[in-house]
A and B are shown apart, each in its own frame.
Chain A
Amino acid sequence: MPQLNMVQAINLALREEMARDDRVVVLGEDVGRDGGVFRVTEGLFEEFGAARVIDTPLSESAIVGAAVGMAAYGLRPVAEIQFMGFIYAAMDQLFAHAARIRSRSRGRFTAPLVVRTPYGAGIKAPELHEESTEAFFCHMPGIKVVVPSGPYSAKGLLLAAIRDPDPVLFLEPTRLYRMVKEEVPEGEYTLPLGKARIVRAGGAVTVVAWGSMLQRTLKAVEGYDAEVIDPQTLSPFDWETLLASVKKTGRLVVVHEAPRTCGLGAEIAATAAEEAILHLRGPVLRVAGPDVPVPLARLVDHYLPSPERIRGALDEVLRY
């Protein structure tokens, strides 16, 4: 089995799915001849041609809006937004259309599309290149939100996302693109959307983390009796897996790099309180980014939750 990094794994998923299903098309800025600014779509233009690998003008709203039209017509568009910070102009298309064309047309039209975008901080890039605003999208009914945390899951989740009958926002943790290699099988496998993965079993505390924070969390919990859950799909969230773990451990820590206030940690904590409070021995703690815009390179390391802060939260809940 080849050892691939996440860029290669996503590339492989796209290539295999385009070969298998001629409805799949890729569109976005610089995705064709250039192979994408992170080279995620490298080689697809050469292999599948300009009709299926479309270099668009610099128009995020048109990229997502066109994907809605293409999907309704029967294609399976995979749109790329070059960085998550540039998705804002396309929010109207995502929220007002992709998320609700099924309901507005009472099931007559649907939007089975994927929007892929690099996401997250810590790559020392300019402003708006390091956003993690996943919670905005999880708040919108009708869109699924998926975050792979390694090459293996990236391929399986992307294949599932492309085949999903509804719009999926696929957030690719930029910091992980080339950080880790894993065995990634060639050929078909999907990982179900809406299903979390228990990455590490443990009995004393449940820790939830996704994207690049998962790697950091796994390092931080070394030596602790911690159960680590990678949700993989943020919306719809796999509450069953989470609650079963919390009922077992009695403690919950959520780690995310997005700002704390109204981040996804709030939803997770609220659900734990609603559905498992009698099993909890202490407060649910969030280790999150502060409530500031993501700073530039000089300060970004102080922004991201550090292993020390994660361990601090573990120590605190373990006191109960």
Chain B
Amino acid sequence: MPESTLATFSVRRLEIIDPEGNADEALLPDLSGDELRRLYYLLLLTRTFDGRALALQREGRIGTYPSVLGQEAAQVGSAFALAGGEWIFPSFREMGLFFTLGYPIHQLFQYWGGDERGLRAPDGLNIFPVCVSVGTHLPHAAGTALAARIRGERTAVVAYFGDGATSKGDFHEAFNLAGVFRLPVVFICQNNQWAISVPLSAQTASRTLAQKALAYGFDGIQVDGNDLLAVHRATREALEKARSGGGPTFIECLTYRMSDHTTADDASRYRTPEEVAAWRERDPLLRFERFLAKRGLWNEDYAAEMKGKAQGEIDEAVRRFEAIPPPAPGEMYDFVSAELSARQRQQREI
């Protein structure tokens, strides 16, 4: 018997807006001018929050903070595709996701300020708390999708994670489960090309991350993660597919972490300023501005007005955050269990 080929594969890549802001009209998602401007505002809000969080950290008013600079489009663009009601499993570097879903901004300051009360999602918003243990939340997404199927509900579940998470066993296990059961999960990886000091090339020998999905029996696509509309379109399609029984999708958003890993990191120890500068050119916010300008939806005055509005909203959130009375010591017992043990109650009294 001669040797034969059992499988060959190709990996799709999607980009809609080029760095100059020109769009491929055939691929443009169906979004109104108002929606496009709303998206722009969400990018600004995320970036404004990020800058403020970094400043507050330097002043000792919040703790260690992971900047999202450069990744705003991947977060806002995907989150804007959500219909509402989906269950969402974030990692820890997704402020843009939270804002797009309407999560109270002051609560994110509160959480990064070392107060876990900030993690309580508003009722009706099914977003799991920030997951610090990299990749360990991915099986939850598969399980929630399975539960929705058992209940006969047509919904989709979305999980966010980084390139580093794809090296974890839980990534494999969740992907396998989702593939085997054809679960309605959209896996969104923000491949920012770094996991602290480890570059993508040392994280995987795979040419793309997207292709990993193929081995689990479902589609993977790479999108330009700094192209808000490409991310949006891919997410929308994946959600529709999930809801209509087509199974999981893996979206690799190729982007770049423009800041240090966190405020505790110094990226100049392991990467060159040239590399960072090259990505600054591909800033997702600039690209979206250029796109909007070409459609007559943006000019300097409008930008200034929106930046002012975003500043105001963030200022207000900082005020609310700082007005929150500190947690009482006894609050560390709250929510440990539905009911405290006699010993825990006794410990709380002292």
* Chain A residues with a Cβ under 8 A of chain B: 29-30, 32-35, 37, 55, 57-62, 85-86, 88-89, 124-129, 260-261, 290-293, 295-300, 302-303
Write the chain A residue with the least CB distance to B269.
A34
Q: Assess whether B114 is in contact with A292, with CB atoms less than 8 Å apart.
A: no
CB–CB B134/A58 < 8 A: yes
In the assembled complex, the Cα of A35 lies from the Cα of B167 at a distance in Å of 21
Main secondary structure of the interface of A (DSSP, over half): loop
Partner of A292 from the list B168, B270, B332 (CB cut-off 8 Å) is B332
The answer to whether A297 and B133 touch across the interface, beta carbons within 8 angstroms, is no
B135 on the interface (CB 8 Å rule)?
A: yes
A33: which B residues are within 8 A, CB to CB?
197, 269-270
Give the complex CA separation of A293 and B169 in angstroms: 25
Which A residues lie within 8 Å of B134 (CB)?
58, 86
Interface of B is mostly: loop
B169 touches A290 (CB 8 A): no
Q: Which B residues are closer than 8 A to A by beta carbons?
A: 63-64, 92, 113-116, 130, 132-136, 164-165, 167-170, 195-198, 202-204, 264-265, 269-270, 326-327, 329, 331-333, 336, 341, 343-344, 347-348
Asked if A124 and B63 make an inter-chain contact with CB atoms under 8 angstroms apart, the answer reads yes
B168 touches A59 (CB 8 A): yes
Instruction: For the complex formed, measure the closest distance between the CB of B343 and the CB atoms of chain A, giving whole angstroms.
Output: 6
Most buried by B among A29, A89, A298: A298
- For the complex of A and B, the 9 pairs showing the least CB-CB separation, nearest first, are A297-B114, A34-B197, A57-B167, A58-B164, A302-B329, A296-B114, A295-B332, A290-B347, A58-B167
- Residue contact A299 to B196, C-beta cutoff 8 Å: no
Q: Contact between B203 and A127 (Cβ–Cβ < 8 Å)?
A: no
Contact assessment for B198 and A89 in the assembled complex, using a CB-CB cutoff below 8 Å: no
Residues of chain A contacted by B170 (CB below 8 angstroms)? 89
Which A residues lie within 8 Å of B64 (CB)? 124-126
Q: Is the CB of B344 within 8 A of A298?
A: no
| Sample (9) of A-B pairs whose CB atoms are under 8 Å apart | A33-B197, A35-B269, A55-B197, A58-B165, A89-B170, A260-B343, A290-B333, A292-B333, A298-B327
Is the beta-carbon distance between A37 and B196 smaller than 8 angstroms? yes
Establish whether residues B336 and A292, one from each chain, have CB atoms under 8 Å apart when the complex forms: yes
Residues of chain A within 8 A (CB-CB) of B333 are 290, 292
**Bound-state Cα–Cα, A35 to B196, Å:** 12
A86-B133, A128-B133 in contact; A37/B169 too (CB < 8 A)?
A: no
Whether A290 and B344, one on each chain, are in contact in the complex, defined by CB atoms closer than 8 angstroms, is: yes
With A126-B64, A260-B347, A296-B115 known, 18 other A-B pairs at CB within 8 A are: A32-B197, A33-B269, A37-B196, A55-B202, A57-B164, A57-B198, A59-B168, A89-B133, A126-B92, A128-B132, A260-B343, A290-B333, A290-B344, A291-B341, A291-B344, A291-B347, A298-B326, A299-B332
CA A61 – CA B195 in complex, angstroms?
Answer: 17
Give every chain A residue within 8 A of B270 (Cβ-Cβ).
33-34
CB distance B116 to A29 under 8 Å?
A: no
Distance (whole angstroms) from the CB of B208 to the closest CB of chain A = 16
Residues of chain B lying within 8 A (CB to CB) of residue A261: 343
Establish whether residues A126 and B332, one from each chain, have CB atoms under 8 Å apart when the complex forms.
no
With contacts A290-B332, A296-B115 taken as known, whether A126 is within 8 angstroms of B198 at the C-beta atoms is no
Q: Which residues of A contact B133 (CB under 8 A)?
A: 85-86, 88-89, 128
Q: Is the CB of B167 within 8 A of A59?
A: yes
* Nearest opposing residue in chain B for A128, CB measure: B132
CB distance A37 to B202 under 8 Å?
A: no
Q: Whose C-beta in chain B lies nearest to the C-beta of A65? A: B169
In the bound assembly, the distance between CA atoms of A261 and B337 in angstroms comes to 15
Q: Is there contact, CB below 8 Å, between A30 and B164? A: no
Separation in Å of the A140 CB from the closest CB of chain B? 20
- Alpha-carbon separation in the docked complex, A124 to B60 (Å): 11
Least CB separation from B336: chain A residue: A292
**Contact (Cβ within 8 A) B336 A293:** yes
Question: Contacts of A30 on B, CB cut-off 8 Å?
Answer: 196-198
Query: Which of A35, A57, A299 has a CB less than 8 Å from the CB of B203?
Result: A57
Give min CB distance, A151 to chain B, whole Å: 22
- C-alpha spacing A297/B197, complex, angstroms: 25
Please state if B331 and A299 are interface contacts (CB–CB under 8 Å): yes
Minimum distance in angstroms from A66 CB to a CB of chain B: 13
> Known interface pairs A59-B167, A297-B114. Does A125 touch B327 (Cβ–Cβ under 8 Å)?
no
Identity of the chain A residue whose Cβ is nearest the Cβ of B60 in the assembled complex: A124
Residues from chain A with a CB closer than 8 A to the CB of B168 are 58-60, 89
- Complex Cα distance, B197 from A20, in Å, reads 28
For the complex, what is the distance from the CA of A296 to the CA of B203, rounded to whole Å? Answer: 30
